[in-house]
Structure 1
Amino acid sequence: MLHSLFRTKPVDQIVDEGGQGELKRSMSLLQLTMFSVGATLGTGIFVVLGEAVPLVGPAIVLSFVLAAVTALFSALSYAELAGTIPVSGSSYSYTYATMGELIAWVSGWCLLLEYAVSVSAVAVGWGQYLNDFFQQTFGFTLPAAISNPPGSGGYVNVPAVVVVLLAMLMLLQGASESATVNTIMVLLKIGVLVFFCVLAFTAFKTSNLTPFAPMGWAGIQAAGSKVFFSYIGFDAASTAGEEAKNPKRDLPLAIIGSLVIVTVVYVAVGLAAVGAMHWTEFKQGETEASLSLVLERATNMSWPSAVLSLGAVIAIASVVLSVMYGQTRILFAMSRDGLVPKIFQRVSANRRVPVANTLIVSAFIALLAAAVPLGHLADATSIGTLFAFGLVNIGVMVLRRTRPDLPRSFRTPVYPVTPMLGVLFCAGLIFTLDRVTQEIFLIWMAVGLVVYFLYSRRHSRLGRAAGGAAQPPNPKGTP
């Protein structure tokens, strides 16, 4: 039984199944890159400065760089595995090929938490920013009863349902069409942040940067841990392995390229913000207003804040679209392996998209966003993401050892130091999160193990192919 839990799925078999043409290869390098940027560049930058600047001062720019370097270790591992195993399952498929079925299930279960719950939390925030935009532009807001979830002064969060349904309708049109719309939204929200930088730099004062690091290295580290979670999402391109036109070349470029783009934007916004407004004026209790306050101080006008709110509305819509896309493709890969019901694998003949999969995921996310106070459950998505990142770093080392002969379109530099550092940084960040979040994550994992042993293990196609007998892991990863 122990051997059967850790039986690996041969890399060649995974790649062959991914090349059967069930999904349509239509996504370009630009579209793949924008999917990762879209999933990463969300509301984080609009709120994170108010949380992080008081911890570090003007050295927030170094905190963003530190967080980017931390994310880079895992991004390099993702790039290697995405180029080697270009399928839709992301870290789920990578761990299936390297560490076995049980670990793959754990990774997939973590991704369900990361994608489904996090996008529900993001959708909840869409209504808040939409209200900000309505207030600043038209002078009215939606009633709290229909714009807030229960527990926050409302009955049902209608805007959250609306943004999920809009994303669902777009996804049903096809991967290429969704990618085109996402690319437009990403370029718009980058444009809004460039607009912020331009206005903020008109009020830039070098005196605001002194002292540069009032809290020292400890402050830079503390703020770095805070802003790291604004980088989560760079792995979104890896879920498009079966819809990329040239996956072996484009997936590694999209993953690394998206991280570079997001880092440049974050550093520019951070520098513009602390240069235009002294760091002591950033208040942790006013996180959502931090960038708006900078613009008001810089221009003495209110209309730029309305533009910024519009940027936040676009940013959230883009995140919802990108993350929902990733969720459906991961479930598609898990269904192909028999670990979740077959309905998630069914693809429409015309548009080559998993229609039932998309409808079920959208309904689940809309229900969560509309009626469930997410609270600490949303925070637990950070642990789920970091856990999956750690498994990918380990997967690179395992696959280098078991299948050194595999053609790799990208190789992680400074191996094995890079993936080792990726594992250490992920573990370190997990232990910096609060205890309640850690406990919720453990409960989530316990539920996942129950589901695996009651359903997934019994329906595993790899298990049925082995005749139900316990099979030892194949060290060479061949059929």
Structure 2
Amino acid sequence: MATVKQPLLQQVLRRKPVPAMTAEAGTDTEHGELARSIGLFQLSMFGIGATIGTGIFIVLTQAVPVAGPAVIWSFVLAGTVAGLTAICYAELASAVPVSGSSYSYAYATLGEGVAMVVAACLLLEYGVSAAAVAVGWSQYLNELLDNLFGFTIPENLSQAPEAGGIFNLPAVILVGLCALLLIRGASESAKVNAAMVMIKLGVLVLFVVLGLQGWSSDNLSDFTPFGLNGITSAAGIIFFSYIGLDAVSTAGEEVKNPRRTMPLAIIISLVVVTAVYVAVAIVAVAAQPVSAFDGQEAGLAAILEDVTGSTWPATVLAAGAVVSIFSVTLVVIYGQTRILFAMGRDGMIPPLFHRVNPKTMTPVPATIIVAVVVSLLAGVLPINFLAEMTSIGTLVAFLVVSVGVMVLRRTAPDLPRGFKVPGYPVTPILSIAGCFWIIKDLRAVTIYVFLIWASVALAWYFVYGIRHSELGKAK
């Protein structure tokens, strides 16, 4: 069908009707292009698995020197900001239960051009963060191998060139294993992820239980040495430990009863993650003085070694980190393939990304391409560079979701919703304000990279997407 020419601005702002999205996804018939095999527990484990990564194992060494024992309130504050956005995600996930996360939500509320920029943000967030955590995996794997067997993988094969090595082989192996699992099937991936999440939650619970033995009220006596500014500054550092809750929204077409299951899974993930983080923070700051955190390596392991007088906790926590990072990498790569799947269906990128294997019911070509790209990033780029690239894409996606809730309330007030944001419109407005609060403290180079990346995405849209848009062909 030939594309009917529309004014350029009208093309950029055209929105995809939600009923068309849910019809493609088989939301109401339960028969879509992907297999609906993921239940509430497994989906909740997706959110928890993508969120609890290496952050909680190391963030205290950065945050406690800034806030003191009041870092406990920093975790609550960061969790509140993340929670406001998570609640907005919950409404949109129940109203637009399809693959694609913020990309699909933007397409339904703000238009095709905005959706393309949001997609670029998501691909930056998911692709780069997958590479970053894969790089971190090789470090924890070496620590675990050293503790258990007394040997490590040579630096040449476990570090990026800029970090003194030649190629980060463990990171590439990790990405390959995740890709093979995802190609096998979403249900199998969800089961493996759930098992790994339970293991890493067990490790953190072990830290809390053993760490209580070192409780000293003296360490909490000067509770707010750096005042309110210290609490808010530390919350900005901690906020990125909550990133990952949005991974739930990428699974919209593979979830049973998505209008109910998706918002519930997002809220369960938020509650569990916040509870675990706050518990770990309370025990950590009570177990050792504030001065001990500054520059402390392997923070949680060091605390347990001091409390127990033994070195075995370092081995247990290294094992927990190895499992934790595997889980994060698996869910993040999964999320990216489903965003590409939705974009391919819409004509924003080549249809190859929309191709599904009839036997496994998974987008195999998209999974292979993502694995290759992430492997190359993880193999040759240092972790610090990769980590800096994820924040801005995440925050822009969060902003769009919060705005999207308000737009959809006006444009489609009667749309079926399995969950509605409480305290509307105050909640999404506070979410937007919270995102801007975090953005203002980002480094200038991060903003510049985002602007360049967004420009590349728009260039691609005007060269390819606007001409191949399935929505445009239907006009």
Instruction: Normalising by structure 1, report the TM-score.
Output: 0.96
What corresponds to 1:256 in structure 2? 267
Query: 8 Å contact 1:52–1:226 — kept in the other structure?
Result: yes
- Name 1:34's counterpart in structure 2: 45
Given that 1:376 and 1:437 are in contact with CA atoms closer than 8 Å, whether structure 2 keeps it comes out as no
Q: Return the alpha-carbon distance in structure 1 between the equivalents of residues 112 and 459 of structure 2.
A: 15
Question: Post-superposition shift, 1:414?
Answer: 0.4
Contact 2:11 2:466 in 1 (8 A): no
Task: Give 1:5's aligned residue.
Answer: 12
Q: Return the match for 1:195 from 190, 206, 217.
A: 206
Q: Is the 8 A contact 1:376 1:436 kept in 2?
A: no
Query: 1:229 is paired with a residue of what secondary structure?
Result: helix
Residue among 449, 465, 468 paired with 1:459: 468
Instruction: Provide the rounded CA distance (Å) in 2 between the counterparts of 1:390 and 1:291.
Output: 33
How far apart are 1:458 and its partner, in Å? 1.5
Deviation at 1:463, TM superposition (A): 1.3
1:94 matches 2:105: yes
Alpha-carbon distance, 1:31 to partner: 0.5
* TM-aligned CA deviation for residue 376 of structure 1: 3.6
How many corresponding residue pairs?
Answer: 464
1:244 aligns with 2:251: no
1:295, distance to aligned residue in structure 2 (A): 0.9
Post-superposition Cα deviations, 1:361-380, rounded to whole Å, max 9, x if no partner, equal 11110111012346445312
The C-alpha deviation readout for 1:418-444, integer Å capped at 9, x for no partner, is: 001111111121111111111111111
Q: What code does the residue aligned with 2:360 have?
A: R
Counterpart-to-counterpart distance in 2, 1:192 and 1:138: 21
Alignment gaps of 5+ in structure 1: 467-479
- Return the offset for 1:134: 1.3
Following TM superposition, by how much is the alpha carbon of 1:260 offset from its aligned partner in structure 2, in angstroms?
0.6
Tell me, in whole angstroms, the C-alpha distance in 2 between the residues paired with 1:373 and 1:237.
28
The aligned residue for residue 352 of structure 1 is: 361
Which residue among 2, 9, 16 is the counterpart of 2:23?
A: 16
| Match in the other structure for 1:56 | 67
Q: Does 1:444 align with 2:444?
A: no
Quote the Cα distance in structure 2 between the aligned partners of 1:374 and 1:103.
30
Distance 1:374 1:298, change over 3 A: closer
Which residue matches 1:113?
Answer: 124
Distance 1:11 1:316 in 2: 35
Q: CA deviation at 1:346?
A: 0.7
In the alignment, which of 72, 75, 86 is matched to residue 75 of structure 1?
86
Spell out, residue by residue over 1:376-431, the C-alpha distance to the aligned partner (whole angstroms, 9 max, x if none): 45312111000000000000000001111111110000000000111111112111
Structure 2 gaps, min length 5: 1-7
Helix, strand or coil at the partner of 1:432? coil
One-letter code aligned to 1:56:
A
- Measured after TM superposition, the shift of residue 54 of structure 1 is 0.4
Cα-to-partner distance string for 1:256-293 (whole Å, 9 max, x where unaligned): 1101100011011111111111111101x33x421111
Q: Is the 8 A contact 1:377 1:440 kept in 2?
A: no
* Aligned amino acid, residue 22 of structure 2: V
The reply to whether residue 176 of structure 1 matches residue 187 of structure 2 is: yes
The residue correspondences of 1:132-147 to structure 2 (distance < 5 A) are 132-147=143-158
Counterparts of 2:398 and 2:411, CA distance in 1: 20
Q: Is the 8 A contact 1:377 1:437 kept in 2?
A: no
Aligned pairs (5 A) from 1:257-406? 257-283=268-294, 285-286=295-296, 288-373=297-382, 375-406=384-415
| Residue matched to 2:76 | 65
1:101-146, CA deviations, whole angstroms, 9 ceiling, x for partnerless residues? 0011111110000000111011001000011111222222111000
Q: Identify which range, 364-373 or 228-237, moves more after superposition.
A: 364-373
1:471 corresponding residue in structure 2: none
Moved more, 138-147 or 288-297: 288-297
Q: What's the Cα RMSD here?
A: 1.0
Query: What percentage of residue pairs aligned between the two structures are identical?
Result: 55
Residue 219 in structure 1 maps to residue 226 in structure 2: no
